[in-house]
């Protein structure tokens, strides 16, 4: 293909890519909505196919059950499907508060987000946290208020709730007619179309009926509710913010849709608007410059690693988001952190129920690359210019455990298991300078249970935890290597190396941290660390 033809192809492919994540508080309907979106995209034929990943937010036992299922129906953390002329990549964002670090990193790989809110509950804690993450990058967000077939809060109240608690302007795109048993459908404010709800058609696409508000037939169809919707629409048109694409793209305004995912209601309308409104891949920052997706040179960054995705193959997959150019199977790319060229022969693309070998992929697409331990979260790959994508951090853990083996003969397996599981980034592994302990650090405590269960299940290692008197962790560095050396000598007992060999200060109290910072002006202490 000539240079110009390639440039044209890339431009066209970028324009039709939509890469997004769904954010919501557990139970708001993320799984159901995901499934319905896949249904509309033709990626699955029947509802009930996508196994819920919600187990991960409850107990370890649920999590293990989910793992078992994983080998059979590949519930991937990335799902690709087509809708009309669009190629959509849906990235799963784990819902539990404990997974926030992982979620944060997944959200670095999306171009926009879809927020699901339960109409009875409004904004919940997890919605708030995820929204904070989105705000860090001004990610554009479309909102879907779900479960209108159940009694919920007044729609005006819900809009206020979002505006107040999530600090984002709302632009209603549709408006519900009644709720719960009285739910009759939605009114599309832009197209002035009434979509009537039929509760028996949850498995099918519900067609809208076009009817204007002053049409007398509206009274026949809706009875008393006709007056209500007329009043509501008048109110919204007077009081609500009109949709403003610029504001939406800047993450300052969220268009709001109402519906019922389980009944398929409002989902197609949502999807249709989503593909039109949501942004295609946009330029991504590196340490040297912003990289535009339409550049013809290939570049990509790994934002997630998962070990043992398929228990039958014991593989470790690095999820790479393509940021520019075109990926072609078998291409050679430079792995910049280790300074080596690697050939990607068998990258995988993830569909709802399957994975397949990928021949070509474009910016916005996520490919799975087999990882034999050389790839880490944050690694950048290009075919020419050395680039290092930024914005994928590690966070200082707040909980710590010392790992102990039940069977000392298994120390090799323990080491391997811990290193591989820590690669996924949900826990961090530290080795103190003064002994050979394994210290795990996590942002949320559920991770510890998960790791012990996975050590047993995937590595056949019985391990247990001991409490350890550590309070927090800070990465330490200094401009003057001598200063770092003397700091290392002086505080040996409080220092450890993380999995990448970086020095970490791990004090047993806040007081010790503060006093050490005060006494060590030449040392920089950081709470987050960019992967390097």
Binding-site residue numbers for GTP are: 24-31, 92-96, 146-149
CB of 258 to ligand G4P, least distance (A): 10
- Tokens 């826990």 sit on residue: 427
Residues that bind ligand G4P (CB under 6 A): 24, 26-32, 52, 54, 146-147, 149-150, 260-263
Nearer to ligand G4P, 28 or 309 (CB): 28
SS3 content of the chain, % helix, strand, coil (to 5): 30, 30, 40
Residue 460 is given by DSSP the state: -
Residue 240 is given by DSSP the state: S
Nearer to ligand G4P, 149 or 423 (CB): 149
CB of 352 to ligand G4P, least distance (A): 15
CB of 242 to ligand G4P, least distance (A): 27
Nearer to ligand G4P, 24 or 472 (CB): 24
CB 532 within 8 A of CB 500: yes
Strands 503-505 vs 112-118: parallel, antiparallel or unpaired: unpaired
CB of 21 to ligand G4P, least distance (A): 13
- Across 43-202, the runs of DSSP E, i.e. the strands, are 78-83, 86-91, 112-118, 141-146, 169-172, 174-177, 185-188, 193-196
Nearer to ligand G4P, 27 or 163 (CB): 27
Expressed in angstroms, the distance from the first to the final Cα of the chain is 35
Cα–Cα distance between 531 and 101 in angstroms, integer?
Answer: 13
Q: How many CA atoms lie within 13 A of 142 on its CB side?
A: 25
Nearer to ligand G4P, 56 or 299 (CB): 56
CB of 148 to ligand G4P, least distance (A): 7
Query: Alpha carbon 390 to chain centroid distance?
Result: 17
Q: Work out the number of other CB atoms within 10 angstroms of the CB of residue 489.
A: 9
The closest alpha carbon to 394, from 425, 369, 373, belongs to 425
DSSP string, 190-212: TTTEEEE--TT-TTSPPPPB---
CB 339 within 8 A of CB 333: no
Which residues contact residue 448 at a Cβ distance below 8 angstroms, ignoring those fewer than 6 apart? 399, 401, 427, 440, 442, 465
CB of 219 to ligand G4P, least distance (A): 27
Nearer to ligand G4P, 74 or 342 (CB): 74
CB of 117 to ligand G4P, least distance (A): 10
Cα–Cα distance between 456 and 417 in angstroms, integer?
Answer: 9
CB 61 within 8 A of CB 155: no
CB of 94 to ligand G4P, least distance (A): 11
Q: Which residues are annotated as a binding site?
A: 24-31, 92-96, 146-149
CB of 130 to ligand G4P, least distance (A): 12
Nearer to ligand G4P, 34 or 324 (CB): 34
Sign of the Cα torsion 54, 59, 65, 69 reads: positive
Nearer to ligand G4P, 199 or 460 (CB): 199
β-bridge mates for residue 442, sequence order: 399, 427
CB of 274 to ligand G4P, least distance (A): 17
Cα–Cα distance between 242 and 402 in angstroms, integer?
Answer: 55
Q: How many CA atoms lie within 13 A of 492 on its CB side?
A: 7
CB of 161 to ligand G4P, least distance (A): 18
Cα–Cα distance between 428 and 128 in angstroms, integer?
Answer: 25
Nearer to ligand G4P, 75 or 382 (CB): 75
Strands 495-498 vs 193-196: parallel, antiparallel or unpaired: unpaired
Nearer to ligand G4P, 26 or 425 (CB): 26
Query: Alpha carbon 399 to chain centroid distance?
Result: 23
Nearer to ligand G4P, 17 or 25 (CB): 25
264: left (phi over 0), alpha (psi -120 to 50) or beta: left
């Amino acid at each position: 293909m000539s240079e110009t033809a390639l440039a044209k192809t890339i431009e066209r492919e970028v324009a039709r890519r939509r890469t997004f994540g769904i954010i919501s508080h557990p139970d708001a309907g993320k799984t159901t909505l995901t499934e319905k979106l896949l249904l509309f995209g033709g990626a699955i034929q029947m509802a009930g196919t996508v196994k819920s990943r919600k187990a991960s937010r409850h107990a370890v036992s649920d999590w293990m059950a989910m793992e078992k299922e994983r080998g059979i129906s590949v519930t991937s953390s990335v799902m690709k499907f087509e809708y009309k002329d669009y190629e959509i990549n849906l990235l799963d964002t784990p819902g539990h508060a404990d997974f926030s670090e992982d979620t944060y990193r997944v959200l670095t790989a999306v171009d926009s987000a879809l927020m699901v809110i339960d109409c009875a509950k409004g904004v919940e804690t997890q919605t708030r946290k995820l929204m904070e993450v989105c705000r860090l990058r001004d990610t554009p967000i479309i909102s879907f208020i779900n479960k209108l077939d159940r009694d919920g809060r007044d729609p005006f109240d819900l809009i206020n709730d979002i505006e107040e608690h999530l600090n984002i302007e709302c632009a209603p795109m549709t408006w519900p007619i009644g709720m719960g048993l009285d739910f009759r459908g939605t009114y599309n404010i832009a197209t002035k179309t009434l979509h009537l709800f039929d509760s028996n058609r949850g498995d099918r696409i519900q067609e809208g009926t076009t009817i204007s508000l002053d049409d007398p037939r509206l009274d026949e169809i809706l009875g008393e509710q006709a007056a209500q919707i007329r009043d509501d629409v008048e109110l919204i048109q007077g009081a609500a913010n009109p949709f403003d694409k610029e504001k939406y793209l800047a993450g300052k305004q969220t268009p709001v849709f109402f519906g019922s995912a389980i009944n398929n209601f409002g989902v197609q309308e949502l999807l249709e608007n989503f593909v039109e409104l949501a942004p295609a891949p946009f330029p991504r920052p590196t340490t040297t410059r912003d990289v535009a997706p339409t550049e013809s040179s290939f570049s990509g960054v790994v934002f997630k690693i998962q070990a043992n995705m398929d228990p039958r193959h014991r593989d470790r997959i690095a999820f790479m988001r393509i940021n520019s150019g075109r990926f072609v199977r078998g291409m050679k790319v430079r792995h910049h952190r280790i300074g080596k060229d690697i050939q990607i022969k068998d990258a995988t693309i993830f569909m709802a129920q399957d994975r397949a070998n990928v021949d070509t992929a474009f910016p916005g697409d996520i490919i799975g690359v087999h990882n034999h331990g050389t790839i880490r979260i944050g690694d950048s790959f290009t075919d020419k210019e050395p680039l290092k994508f930024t914005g994928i951090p590690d966070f200082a853990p707040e909980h710590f455990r010392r790992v102990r083996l039940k069977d000392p003969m298994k120390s090799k397996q323990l080491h391997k298991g811990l290193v591989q599981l820590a690669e996924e980034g949900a826990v961090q592994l530290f080795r103190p300078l003064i002994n050979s302990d394994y210290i795990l650090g996590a942002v949320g405590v559920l991770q510890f249970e998960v790791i012990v269960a996975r050590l047993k299940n995937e590595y056949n290692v019985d391990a247990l935890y001991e409490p350890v008197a550590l309070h927090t962790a800070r990465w330490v560095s200094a401009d003057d290597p001598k200063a770092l050396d003397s700091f290392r000598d002086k505080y040996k007992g409080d220092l450890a190396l993380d999995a990448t060999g970086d020095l970490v200060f791990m004090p047993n109290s806040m007081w010790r941290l503060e006093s050490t910072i005060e006494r060590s002006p030449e040392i920089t202490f950081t709470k987050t660390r960019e992967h390097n």
